[in-house]
Structure 1
Amino acid sequence: MSKDTFKVETKLTRLGRDVHDQYGFVNTPIYRGSTVVFDTVDSLQNNKAKFWYGTLGTPTIKSLEDAWSELSGAEGTVMSPSGLGAVALALMTTLKSGDHLLMPDSVYNPTRNFCKVFLEKFGVEITYYDPLVGENIVELFRTNTSTLFLESPGSQSFEIQDVPLLTRLAKQRGIKTIIDNTWATPIFFKAHEHGCDLSVEAGTKYLSGHSDLLMGLVSANAETWPALRAMYDSMAMLPGAEDCFLALRGLRTMHIRLKEAERRALEVANWLSEQPEVSRILHPAFEGCPGHEIWKRDFKGSSGLFSVVFKPGFSKEALSYMLDNMKIFGMGYSWGGFESLVVPFNCADYRTATKWNPEGLTIRLQIGLENVEDLMTDLRQGLDRLSAFR
Structure 2
Amino acid sequence: MVCMKDHLPDLSTRLVHHDYSPPPGFMAPQPGVYKASTVIFPNVAVMRSREWKDKSGYTYGLHGTPTTFILEERLCTLEGGLQCLLVPSGLAAIANVALALLKPGDEVLIPDNAYGPNKDLAHAELARLGIKPVLYDPLNPADLEARLTPATRLVWLEAPGSVTMEFPDLCEQVRICRARGVTTALDNTWGAGLAFAPFDLLGDGTLGVDVSAHALTKYPSGGGDVLMGSVMTRDPALHMKIKLTHMRLGLGVAGNDAEAVLRALSSIGLRYRAHDEAARRLAQWLQQQPAIAQVLHPALESSPGHAHWKALCGAAQGGQGAAAGLFSVMIDARYTQQQVDAFCDGLRLFKLGYSWGGPMSLVVPYDLATMRSRPAPHLAPGTLVRFSVGLEAVEDLRCDLEQAMARAFPPLDPSAAG
- Of the three residues 39, 44, 50, the one matched with 1:41 is 44
Q: Which has the higher relative contact order, 1 or 2, with Cα contacts under 8 A spaced 6 or more apart?
A: 1
Give the secondary-structure state (helix, strand or coil) at the position aligned to 1:242: helix
- Of the three residues 274, 291, 301, the one matched with 1:287 is 301
Identical positions, percent: 33
After superposition, residues 1-390 of structure 1 pair within 5 angstroms as 23-47=26-50, 50-194=57-201, 195-223=208-236, 224-299=238-313, 300=316, 301-355=322-376, 358-388=380-410
Give the secondary-structure state (helix, strand or coil) at the position aligned to 2:257: helix
Question: 2:395 is aligned with what amino acid?
Answer: E
C-alpha distance in 2 between matches for 1:42 and 1:172: 48
1:227-286 Cα offsets, whole Å, 9 max, x none, are 222222222211111100000011011100000011111111111111121122100001
> Contact 1:60 / 1:241 at 8 angstroms: preserved in 2?
yes
Give the secondary-structure state (helix, strand or coil) at the position aligned to 1:155: coil
Q: Which residue of 1 aligns with 2:15?
A: none
Give how far 1:112 is off.
Answer: 1.2
C-alpha distance in 1 between matches for 2:27 and 2:196: 34
Give how far 1:288 is off.
Answer: 1.4
Structure 2 unmatched runs, 5+: 1-22, 202-207, 317-321, 413-418
Q: Which residue of 2 aligns with 1:4?
A: none
> Contact 2:101 / 2:153 at 8 angstroms: preserved in 1?
yes
Give the paired residue count.
371
C-alpha distance in 2 between matches for 1:355 and 1:159: 11
Q: Which residue of 1 aligns with 2:7?
A: none
Give how far 1:318 is off.
Answer: 1.0
TM-score (norm 2): 0.85
> Contact 1:314 / 1:386 at 8 angstroms: preserved in 2?
no
C-alpha distance in 1 between matches for 2:243 and 2:262: 21
C-alpha distance in 1 between matches for 2:145 and 2:350: 43
C-alpha distance in 1 between matches for 2:230 and 2:140: 27
> Contact 2:222 / 2:359 at 8 angstroms: preserved in 1?
yes
C-alpha distance in 2 between matches for 1:229 and 1:164: 27
> Contact 2:107 / 2:153 at 8 angstroms: preserved in 1?
yes
Give the secondary-structure state (helix, strand or coil) at the position aligned to 2:360: coil
- Between structure 1 and structure 2, the one with the greater Rg is 2
Give how far 1:25 is off.
Answer: 1.8
Give the secondary-structure state (helix, strand or coil) at the position aligned to 2:193: helix
1:144-164 Cα offsets, whole Å, 9 max, x none, are 100010111000111111122
Give the secondary-structure state (helix, strand or coil) at the position aligned to 1:388: coil
Q: Which moved more, 1:352-361 or 1:255-264?
A: 352-361
C-alpha distance in 2 between matches for 1:110 and 1:97: 20
The structure-2 alpha-carbon separation of the partners of 1:30 and 1:58, relative to structure 1 and needing over 3 Å to count, comes to same
Give how far 1:354 is off.
Answer: 4.0
Q: Which residue of 2 aligns with 1:6?
A: none
Q: Which moved more, 1:353-362 or 1:210-219?
A: 353-362
Question: 2:192 is aligned with what amino acid?
Answer: T
Give how far 1:306 is off.
Answer: 0.3
Give how far 1:324 is off.
Answer: 1.3
> Contact 2:331 / 2:340 at 8 angstroms: preserved in 1?
no
Q: Which moved more, 1:202-211 or 1:91-100?
A: 91-100
> Contact 2:368 / 2:384 at 8 angstroms: preserved in 1?
no
Give how far 1:353 is off.
Answer: 3.8
> Contact 1:348 / 1:355 at 8 angstroms: preserved in 2?
no
TM-score (norm 1): 0.91
C-alpha distance in 1 between matches for 2:78 and 2:344: 38
Alignment RMSD: 1.8
Question: 2:299 is aligned with what amino acid?
Answer: A
Give the secondary-structure state (helix, strand or coil) at the position aligned to 1:186: coil
C-alpha distance in 1 between matches for 2:170 and 2:24: 40
C-alpha distance in 2 between matches for 1:350 and 1:230: 33
> Contact 1:318 / 1:385 at 8 angstroms: preserved in 2?
no
Give the secondary-structure state (helix, strand or coil) at the position aligned to 2:231: strand
C-alpha distance in 2 between matches for 1:124 and 1:170: 19
> Contact 1:220 / 1:228 at 8 angstroms: preserved in 2?
no
C-alpha distance in 2 between matches for 1:348 and 1:221: 38
> Contact 2:294 / 2:380 at 8 angstroms: preserved in 1?
no
C-alpha distance in 1 between matches for 2:323 and 2:190: 8
